[in-house]
Amino acid sequence: MRTLILGMGGHLGTAVAKRLDPDPRVEMLGLDIEPPRRLLHRAEFHLVVDPTSARAAREMVQRIVEFAPTEVVHFGVYEPHARANPHAAHARSLAFTKAVCDAVAQLDTIRHVVVRSGIEVYGRRRGAALSPDEHVAPAPTTGYGRTLLVVEESMEALGRAHRIPVTRLRFAPVAGPHIPSPLTRYLRLPFFVPVGALPDPPFSLLHIDDAADATVAALARRADVAVNVVGAGAVTAAQAVRIGGRIPVPTIGPGWLLARLAAGALGSPLPEHVIELFTRGRTADGAHARDVLGFVPAHTTLEIVRDMYHWPSVTFHDIAIADAA
């Protein structure tokens, strides 16, 4: 099994690679803008400094074609204000998607594609179901949701053209220790946290370990389907903030502009899809994952929120380069 992991340098990509690493039948190639965060024995990694440049695109396609993968895991999808600003996140997501499409057009080795998407694709228009299942047509209402849908549809079209099953994993917002998530970063702001006034709608989360396990399950099943993967239960923003011992500040309309400025000044920029989560809610029906992937997330949303306030902070150490080498 020759597995290409786009986005191997992210926490999720690394977590999936770690799960595949012990299998002696697996060879992996990783591409990302950052190196993997763990030692991997069966992975070759190619750093892509600027995936939006023409040269990097050519190199990525060449690397992929040389590697001739049998499985593709596309995690090269970037959330705004997680590791990049919204414009860069969108451009990088599309660049990695185009590289996969260009490479697959030259290969006949690929048997299965797994692509990371999100429940943001459903959007939260007035009258839209708060907890949509996979029968609901995607209609994103934020930039991130639109990016996810473009990536998802590109891979779906690729699969149709080349008769390759494509599993589209629509994750709830992924959370876990050290993960750069604008949502969890914001909820952990000190003292006062602006949240939706009325409404204070519910949202669901997915633990990173569950997201990685779902991906491994998807690789095993090879289903050509879109599936929601969501931690059980839900919380509201005010409830989460109180669990964390902070004080929720009910916010409406223009108040979000001030909240955005204040959060940005405190190092926690607030993208529009997170504001939408606070004002319109974001959950989805994940029951289908049990049938399609044979998988049920181990962590509930409430457990993730409770753990979130006990995650250790990143500690920086001054180490001389000679010592590190």
- Shortest reach from residue 188's CB to another protein, in Å: 14
- Shortest reach from residue 136's CB to another protein, in Å: 5
| 283 CB-side CA count, 13 A | 20
Q: Which is nearer to another protein, 3 or 204 (CB)?
A: 204
Q: Which is nearer to another protein, 24 or 254 (CB)?
A: 254
Q: Which is nearer to another protein, 136 or 262 (CB)?
A: 136
Distances (CA, A) of 255 to 86, 152, 193, 276: 21, 34, 12, 14
Give the other-Cβ count within 10 Å of 128's Cβ: 13
- Shortest reach from residue 157's CB to another protein, in Å: 25
CA distance 23 to 281: 40
Please enumerate in sequence order all residues whose Cβ is within 8 A of that of 313, keeping only pairs 6 or more positions apart, or say none: none
- Shortest reach from residue 83's CB to another protein, in Å: 28
Torsional sign, CA 237, 248, 267, 311:
negative
Q: Which is nearer to another protein, 154 or 301 (CB)?
A: 301
Which two tokens mark 102? Answer: 């260009």
Task: Give residues in contact with another protein (CB under 8 A).
Answer: 126-133, 135-136, 198-202, 204, 233-236, 238-243, 281, 283-285, 287, 302
DSSP state of 4: E
Task: Name which of 241, 273, 244 is nearest 260 in CA terms.
Answer: 273
Q: Which is nearer to another protein, 88 or 130 (CB)?
A: 130
Instruction: Give, in degrees to the nearest 5, the angle at Cα 260 between 175 and 49.
Output: 60
- Shortest reach from residue 286's CB to another protein, in Å: 9
- Shortest reach from residue 239's CB to another protein, in Å: 4
Give the other-Cβ count within 10 Å of 121's Cβ: 29
Q: Which is nearer to another protein, 97 or 251 (CB)?
A: 251
- Shortest reach from residue 270's CB to another protein, in Å: 20
Identify the H or E element spanning 306.
Answer: helix 301-308
Q: Which is nearer to another protein, 42 or 306 (CB)?
A: 306
